[in-house]
């Protein structure tokens, strides 16, 4: 276990033999760090936190620290991070709270760029990209393969669906539908299917066209949401992606951006 002599690692921390703890890192008790994970320098981690293998933390990131939620009073809560993630400079990750399931969870192969903030009880899937300065309020859920542009803020309890892309500097106060591109230069609106991203992920032309038509019915056909869903169900093939889109809308508690 290569631990720099200036690092402080609590005896109760569990650090894999192939992990690397760089200069001036502080690792508290009940922190578990997996194989080949690298903490470059000046990383602060509190437990209970589990960090899987092959993660990289750039300088001045903080992991598993107490929530900023004023309802948090020190109850036991957790942080869980998967494998192969990259956390750039000054990323902040807060542990969960009793009111939110007591867990902040991040999946695998995500890229969190500099100054990203992950608040309490956030759940991030896998293969996402969160650009510089993205701020996730408490209880936010981010689906797999989502891309969130720089300095975008997501309100508490909002959800971002799979394969969605959100443009930079957006203020998001409702759920973002899967497979869409959404941006808020002045107002938040959907511009269509995330065609480029879906093509890169291997979605068929037929599936993308069906999604594009469904999204157009939802956002540009002059129909309310109920009418648009009825038309989609009557006229479009019931692909897995269409079913996921409609289920996402039906399950929304805050309404979806159109």
* CB-based contact 124:142 (threshold 8 Å): yes
Q: Which helix (H) or strand (E) holds 197?
A: helix 195-200
Quote the DSSP letter at residue 99: G
Query: In degrees, to the nearest 5, what angle opens at C-alpha 104 toward C-alphas 180 and 178?
Result: 10
Query: Quick count: other Cβ atoms within 10 Å of Cβ 11?
Result: 5
**b vs e for 219-248, b when ≥16 Cβ sit within 10 Å of the residue's Cβ?**
beeeeeeeebbebbeeebeebebbebbbeb
Pairs from 21-24 (Cβ < 8 Å, separation ≥ 24):
none
Quick check: is 108 catalytic? no
Active site residue: 138, 143, 149, 197, which one?
A: 138
Quick check: is 117 catalytic? no
Active site residue: 94, 117, 120, 163, which one?
A: 120
| Nearest alpha-carbon partner for 219 in 231, 207, 206 | 231
Quick check: is 202 catalytic? no
How far is residue 2's CA from residue 90's CA, in Å, rounded to a whole number? 23
Active site residue: 54, 69, 108, 121, which one?
A: 121
Q: Residues with catalytic annotation?
A: 120-121, 138
């Amino acid at each position: 276990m290569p631990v720099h002599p200036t690092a402080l690692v609590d005896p109760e921390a569990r650090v894999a033999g192939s992990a690397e703890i760089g200069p001036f890192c502080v690792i508290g008790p009940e922190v578990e760090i997996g194989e080949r994970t690298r903490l470059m320098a000046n990383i602060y981690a509190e437990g209970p936190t589990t960090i899987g293998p092959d993660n990289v933390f750039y300088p001045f990131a903080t992991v598993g620290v107490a929530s900023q939620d004023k309802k948090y009073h020190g109850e036991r809560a957790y942080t869980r991070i998967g494998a192969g993630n990259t956390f750039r400079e000054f990323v902040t990750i807060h542990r969960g709270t009793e009111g939110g399931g007591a867990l902040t969870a991040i999946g695998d192969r995500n890229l969190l760029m500099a100054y990203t903030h992950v608040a309490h009880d956030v759940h991030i899937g896998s293969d996402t990209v969160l650009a510089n300065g993205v701020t996730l309020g408490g209880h936010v859920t981010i689906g797999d393969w989502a891309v969130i542009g720089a300095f975008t803020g997501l309100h508490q309890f909002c959800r971002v669906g799979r394969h969605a892309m959100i443009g930079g500097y957006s203020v998001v106060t409702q759920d973002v539908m899967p497979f869409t591109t959404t941006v808020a230069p002045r107002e938040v609106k959907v511009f269509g299917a995330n065609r480029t991203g879906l093509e890169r992920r291997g979605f068929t032309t037929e599936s993308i066209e069906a999604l594009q038509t469904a999204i157009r019915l939802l956002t540009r056909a002059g129909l309310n949401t109920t009418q648009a869903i009825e038309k989609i169900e009557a006229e479009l093939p019931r692909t897995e992606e269409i079913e996921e889109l409609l289920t996402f809308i039906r399950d929304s508690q805050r309404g979806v951006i159109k």
